[in-house]
Chains A and B, each alone.
Chain A
Amino acid sequence: MAEAVAAAPHSLPSGRTATGLAFAALALLALAACLLSIGTGAVPIGPARVLEVLTGGWADPMLARDSLVILNIRLPRTLLGLMVGAGLAVSGALMQGLFRNPLADPALVGVSSGAGLAAACVIVLGDRLLAGLGIPGPLPFALLPAAAFLGGLAATLGLYLVATRSGRTSVATMLLAGIALGALTGALTGLLVYASDDRQLRDLTFWSLGSLGGATWAKVAATAPAILPVLVAVPFLGRGLNALVLGEAEAFHLGIRVERLKRLAILLVAICVGAGVSAAGVIGFVGLVVPHALRLTLGPEHRRLLPACALLGGALLLLADVAARLVAAPAELPIGIVTALVGAPVFLWLLLGRNRLADA
């Protein structure tokens, strides 16, 4: 073993230049998706015009109509989509690192529907509760993200406790527990449907399939303080998550505070999913497809993977939103349908490929 002592420095399989190029490409893709998203709709606006308006042209009376559309409707929708997509993809990658398996997705294993149920409770029961207490409605919007966060946190914790025994997570148990959790939250949300009036019913439908249609600057302002700090914080979990890939004991041997890392990851997932669900409803498969695609191209190293997930997740959700707006124009499809149509086959393909690696 010790023959080749003077070994040459090992060449990186994916060097720094390659990583830099990949990130530049992802940033360009996100930018292009933004221009497309801002330009698409009942009033089509070309990319040049979009750039003109965004770089100070909004005061120009010649551009008044486009400025109005862009600033009041398209821009908040695009920013919300970027943040929600980034949050979903990053929380998917975090959950997969935490559960040490590539099939964990917040929507697939019931975390998103847990958050959605909590939000639905607030929508349906909140008004009544307020009325009962004699406080005039409507509910402050900030309550929804808070409720969704708590719902997502409870779901993630519950799932972790059920699926993990003495530091080992069973993939089968996790997916089955996710099904049970999804069924339970679905049933409870169904109960709420009976108790809701027309306006609440429309809100609930929106929640269960997901849409960026309700984007306003108020929603952007409520979502940004939750998701943006997580996106900044998440690369610092990279070293710990890399070590956790080897196993919990091995991560401890490598100097990682494992319990703290796991608690932090669960908290960040709940924040991202809670903020995303309360702003745009339950959108599946983004957290599954994006990290998987990036692991194939950039490799599984978490300090590269997590920021890349934010870029690609934001870009892909915007593209899905553009598709949702175009397919049945002038009506809009719920965006969750688009992501599921793309994501479900990828999930199946992942399941089939897993047998080759035999990591059941």
Chain B
Amino acid sequence: MPESPLLTAEDLAYTADGRDLVTDAFLTVEPGSFQAVVGPNGAGKSTLLRLLSGELTPARGRLAYGAEPAASIRPWRLACLRAVLPQSARLAFPFSVADVARIGLDGLGRGLSRRDRERLLGQALAQADVAHLADRPYQSLSGGEQARAQFARVLCQLAAGRTVAPRQVLFLDEPTASLDLRHQGAILDCADALRREGTGIVAILHDLNLAAAYADTLIVMDAGRIVARGRPEAILRDALVKEVFRVDWPVGRVPEGGRPFLLPRRSVAGTQHL
């Protein structure tokens, strides 16, 4: 069973208040894959992620982690199989950054001594570049620093869960939204390092350039449906950008390798509107 999918979703659908938020979603997550979910606001990206993580119960369809139907997996075990980086979270109580990250280790995993947990905590804080903030109250940090503290918490959860389930999926909901350029690159590099070790990554990204640079597969959503999917260089074309994102921005190609990139129309010479 070495290369069976980590996660299989078939025909997932979700309806809220009579609106179909997600329909006909088929998706598999292979070990060591990096899939970026892209699409305009309200396309159903977050709902799809919440369905895949088991947070929402689909109205229709099947979801399985490995061979196990997701609905029959106990929450504790599910927490060892996958982790989710939320968009942003505010805390009502003065937890320190180390406290927040430690919540990801707490009670998960098997056979970890107190020493092991402290070691994993130290590694996660360093990887998320928040080791120097460890004793600062989470509430006092900037949005980007809070996002990195949450990422440290997610890394802790994956590290603890690995002692129970070595085949894991990491979901990232707009991981780069509040980060500066250096940390945008750093968080995705970190996810990519996890991918190389076999973790399946599913990330919602708004920046198509980052998506094209890091993902091996783009999943393009519009109006609750997956409208295109494939390698970025294969599917990211002018027509798709125009149809899905409703902008007339030209897709360029990096000379070496041919990775696609996107620039606002105004910055492309000789084609200024208005």
> Which residues of A line the B interface, CB within 8 A?
1-5, 7-10, 12-13, 96, 100-102, 239, 242-243, 245-247, 249-250, 252-257, 295, 299-301, 357, 359
Contacts and interface: CB of A to CB of B under 8 A. Distances in A.
11 contacts: A1-B183, A2-B189, A4-B131, A10-B98, A101-B92, A245-B93, A245-B95, A249-B55, A253-B55, A253-B79, A300-B93
Interface string B42-75: 0000000010011100000000000000000001
Contact of B122 (A2, A8, A243, A249): A8
Q: Is the interface of B mostly helix, strand, loop or mixed?
A: helix
Contact of A257 (B75, B98, B118, B153): B75
A247 B93 CA distance: 12
Interface in B174-199: 183, 186-187, 189-190, 193
Given A253-B83, A255-B107, A295-B94, A2 B127 contact: yes
Given A249-B55, A255-B108, 10 more contacts: A1-B183, A12-B98, A13-B98, A100-B92, A246-B150, A253-B53, A253-B83, A255-B80, A299-B96, A359-B92
Interface in B87-108: 89-96, 98-100, 103-104, 106-108
A278 B82 CA distance: 47
B23 interface: no
A357 B89 contact: no
Contacts of B122: 7-10
The SS class assigned to the A binding surface is: loop
B86 to A, nearest CB: 6
A254 B96 CA distance: 18
Given A1-B129, A253-B79, A255-B76, A13 B92 contact: no
A246 B118 contact: no
A173 to B, nearest CB: 15
Most buried by B among A8, A250, A254, A256: A254
Given A10-B122, A242-B106, A243-B103, A1 B86 contact: no
Contacts of B28: none
B234 interface: no
B19 interface: no
Interface of B: 50, 53-55, 75-80, 82-84, 86, 89-96, 98-100, 103-104, 106-108, 115, 118-119, 121-123, 125-129, 131, 134-135, 139, 150, 153, 157, 183, 186-187, 189-190, 193
Contacts of A301: 95, 99
Contacts of A1: 126-129, 183, 186-187, 189-190
B77 to A, nearest CB: 8
Given A9-B122, A253-B79, A300 B99 contact: yes
A9 B119 contact: yes
B91 A246 contact: yes
A116 B92 CA distance: 29
Contact of A246 (B103, B108, B193): B103
Contacts of B91: 245-246, 359
Nearest to A302: B93
A28 B126 CA distance: 40
B75 A255 contact: yes
A348 B258 CA distance: 62
A357 B2 CA distance: 49
A134 to B, nearest CB: 53
Given A2-B189, A295-B93, A7 B86 contact: no
Nearest to B117: A9
A359 B90 CA distance: 7
Contacts of A5: 123, 126-127
B83 to A, nearest CB: 7
A299 B75 contact: no
Contact of A359 (B82, B139, B150): B139
B106 A239 contact: yes
A253 B98 contact: no
B79 A254 contact: yes
Contacts of B189: 1-2
Among A9, A255, A301, A359, residue most surrounded by chain B Cβ atoms (within 10 Å): A255
A6 to B, nearest CB: 9
A2 B92 contact: no
A100 B98 CA distance: 19
B108 A254 contact: yes
Contacts of A252: 54-55, 75
B83 A250 contact: no
B131 A250 contact: no
B103 A242 contact: yes
B118 A10 contact: yes
A101 to B, nearest CB: 5
Contacts of A249: 50, 55, 84, 86
